[in-house]
Amino acid sequence: MEAYLDNSATTKINDDVLALMERVYREDFGNPSSRHKKGMEAERYIKTAKEQIAATLKCKPEEIFFTSGGTESNNMALIGTALANKRSGMHIITTSFEHPSVYEPMFFLEELGFRVTYLAPGPEGTVTVDALKEALCEDTILVSVMAVNNEVGAVQDITALGAAVKEYNPAILFHVDAIQAYGKFRIYPKRQNIDLLSVSAHKLHGPKGCGFLYVREKTKIKPILHGGGQQKGMRSGTENVPGVAGLGLSAELANKDIESVQEHLFELKKYFAEGLAKLPDVTVHLVDNKDGTPVGAEEWEKRLRKTAPHIMSVGFAGVRSEVLLHALEEKGIYVSSGSACSSNHPAVSGTLKAIDVKKELLDATVRFSFCKDTTKEELEYTLSVLKELLPQLRRFWRK
């Protein structure tokens, strides 16, 4: 049996999306900037994708800009707005457990002279409105927060944070990295005071190398890629038409019945967590108590619901995550140790430290991430494999 439980790293492409993309590659291969019929046909796919996405966000199609994926969307949002608004101020606020595609641009902006405040989340993995309020100042031009943390699935109260930003000063821009959130939660930028929103296609059963940035109209932002002036000069470069078409369709599909998918994912998560609870020395981060004391059933379910329905970060005391990952791999089960983007990094996960995970679990934590196609049977199989493997791998555990 095979169980792909690494859907936060990437998802399998949807068949209809792939079929659509293949058609664009084979038949409608024109350059949307060309003046002839082939160009117009290609342009139509871009228009359709924008409309499909706009419908999910209840925004205007003109507010969608296509990029090469989440990393570019984040770079464009942060660097583009910081440079365009530096006359109003040089202060930016973000959190201390962002994805590298947010904190690396922040380091870059610091080199350019911007001042960045990194808000530390509490042990529940959330940044409080009070902490944000305290950090806001006259010089603040931009606040960037990740809606769902990719490593542990912590969910931020974007609505409350957005409201606090705008209450302090409506001119401050609010960016949300929604790469793990879009398609799992309903997001409405206007209602939630979001000015910029980053999304990646391959987390939605769409193609790799494609994403978008929502930019609220009239937002002051400068392009970071300069060239032929495509996408109103905001993002030069011939549009990845097949990718954009695939993204549009996968966005539509992912938002179709979010509520029932959410419920399905939650059921899976609960089933898996209940199974894990029967195994010794296993800690579900953000759900189980850090000291190992039992959590009341009601509180336990409440905590389970508070984190993202598709991500579970689990510590296995006495087992190195890298070793467990390869042992599971031998049984056809695919997971991540930390985030796939940073797991080559020798340092232990910054996110785990941020939420105060016990030191011995920093290097013993594995991420399971589900998608709508994940089945109970896969999780049942995974639990049985874990039950068999853990004692073997712990044979040499020096407590």
Q: Counting contacts by CB under 8 A, is residue 330 touching another protein?
A: yes
Where b means 16+ CB within 10 Å and e means fewer, 38-49 reads eeebbbebbebb
User: In whole angstroms, how close is the CB of 107 to another protein at the nearest point?
Assistant: 22
Among the listed residues 324, 348, 355, 385, the single contact to another protein using CB under 8 A: 324
DSSP 107-161: HHHHHTT-EEEEEPP-TTS---HHHHHHH--TTEEEEEEESB-TTT--B--HHHH
Distance (Å, whole) CA 203 – CA 341: 13
Q: Catalytic pick from 59, 137, 210, 341?
A: 341
Among the listed residues 325, 355, 366, 386, the single contact to another protein using CB under 8 A: 325
**From 170-178, 234-242, 283-291, 318-326, span contacting another protein (CB under 8 A):** 318-326
CA atoms within 13 A on the CB side of 225: 20
Distance (Å, whole) CA 346 – CA 267: 35
Active site residue 341: yes
Contacts with another protein, 123-142, as mask; x by CB under 8 A: --------------------
Among the listed residues 37, 87, 232, 395, the single contact to another protein using CB under 8 A: 395
Distance (Å, whole) CA 108 – CA 104: 6
Q: Counting contacts by CB under 8 A, is residue 87 touching another protein?
A: no
User: In whole angstroms, how close is the CB of 365 to another protein at the nearest point?
Assistant: 16
Which of helix, strand or coil describes residue 250?
Answer: helix
Q: Counting contacts by CB under 8 A, is residue 329 touching another protein?
A: yes
Among the listed residues 322, 356, 363, 380, the single contact to another protein using CB under 8 A: 322
C-beta of 62 vs 329, nearer to another protein: 329
Q: Counting contacts by CB under 8 A, is residue 274 touching another protein?
A: no
CA atoms within 13 A on the CB side of 235: 22
Cβ contact 164:204 at 8 Å: no
Sign of CA dihedral 188, 193, 194, 195: positive
Q: Counting contacts by CB under 8 A, is residue 344 touching another protein?
A: yes
Kind and range of the H or E run holding 177: strand 173-177
C-beta of 293 vs 344, nearer to another protein: 344
Q: Which residue has the tokens 């379910």?
A: 301
Q: Counting contacts by CB under 8 A, is residue 323 touching another protein?
A: yes
C-beta of 2 vs 330, nearer to another protein: 330
Q: Counting contacts by CB under 8 A, is residue 2 touching another protein?
A: no
- Binding residues vs another protein (CB under 8 A): 322-330, 344, 346, 395-396
